[in-house]
């Protein structure tokens, strides 16, 4: 046996091995990428077509007191739609503010265009509603006096009541169904009296 021939053969074998391994690596990478792409598609399609709503800063603000017994309040909602496929709209939304003991403080309507809160796929929508409430028709004198007094209403809840619709195609949405959310615990107070925000408060679907 010729030693150099042996080495030559060895080199060829090693080279073939390397090429084989290289092919294997390429195939493995392609497979991994394919699996990842399919997995992501499955994850996106399995994501529930749900709307996630949070009350920004967990607070409802009393912005000020107007002449003629009116009080201005505001609430900011951050709505997100993790679904990769469809848009969601939440329209005709009434916001109700409730004491910890569930007695109603006041309620008002969110006026966000004609379709309400509308969130595209994998998007979010910030709505800031400012309501002017009449005292005492819409909200009690006692509550307003408390707000003037820098009293905070803690452990309050924001209830949302509206119609949730999912997009069928283009501008078409399903007829939808009445959906309620409860966001708790929320603090209500005169804007200058509120402590530093402790974070957003998530709303739970309750119907």
Ligand X SMILES: *[C@@H]1O[C@H](CO)[C@@H](O)[C@H](O)[C@H]1NC(C)=O
Which residues contact ligand X (rule: CB under 6 A)?
Answer: 56-57, 59, 76, 99, 101, 103, 145-146, 149, 151, 168-169, 172, 197
The span from the CA of 151 to the CA of 144, in Å, is: 10
CB 187 within 8 Å of CB 59: yes
Q: What residue is closest to ligand X based on CB?
A: 145
- Exposed e or buried b for every residue in 152-168, given b needs 16+ CB within 10 A? bbeebbbbbbbbbbbbe
CB of 151 to ligand X, least distance (A): 6
User: Is 81 or 127 the residue whose CB approaches ligand X more closely?
Assistant: 127
CB of 21 to ligand X, least distance (A): 51
- Peptide bond preceding 24: is omega within 30 degrees of 0, i.e. cis? no
User: Is 25 or 198 the residue whose CB approaches ligand X more closely?
Assistant: 198
Long-range Cβ contacts of 12-19 (<8 Å, 24+ apart)? none
User: Is 5 or 175 the residue whose CB approaches ligand X more closely?
Assistant: 175
CB of 61 to ligand X, least distance (A): 6
CB of 57 to ligand X, least distance (A): 4
């Amino acid at each position: 046996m010729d030693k150099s021939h042996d080495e030559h053969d060895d080199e060829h074998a090693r080279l073939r091995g390397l090429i084989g391994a290289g092919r294997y690596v390429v195939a493995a990478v392609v497979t991994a990428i394919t699996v990842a792409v399919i997995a992501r598609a499955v994850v996106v399609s399995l994501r529930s077509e749900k709307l996630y709503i949070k009350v920004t800063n967990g607070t409802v603000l009393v912005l000020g007191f107007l002449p003629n017994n009116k009080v201005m309040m505001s609430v900011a909602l951050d709505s997100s739609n993790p679904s990769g496929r469809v848009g969601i709209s939440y329209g005709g939304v009434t916001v109700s503010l409730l004491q910890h003991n569930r007695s109603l403080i006041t309620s008002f309507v969110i006026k966000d265009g004609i379709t309400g809160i509308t969130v595209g796929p994998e998007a979010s929508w910030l709505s800031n509603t400012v309501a002017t409430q009449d005292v005492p028709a819409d909200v009690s004198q006692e509550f307003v006096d408390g707000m003037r007094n820098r009293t905070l209403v803690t452990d309050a809840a924001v209830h949302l009541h509206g119609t949730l619709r999912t997009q069928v195609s283009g501008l078409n949405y399903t007829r939808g169904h009445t959906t309620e959310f409860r966001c708790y615990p929320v603090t209500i107070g005169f804007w200058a009296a509120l402590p530093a925000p402790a974070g957003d408060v998530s709303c739970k679907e309750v119907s």
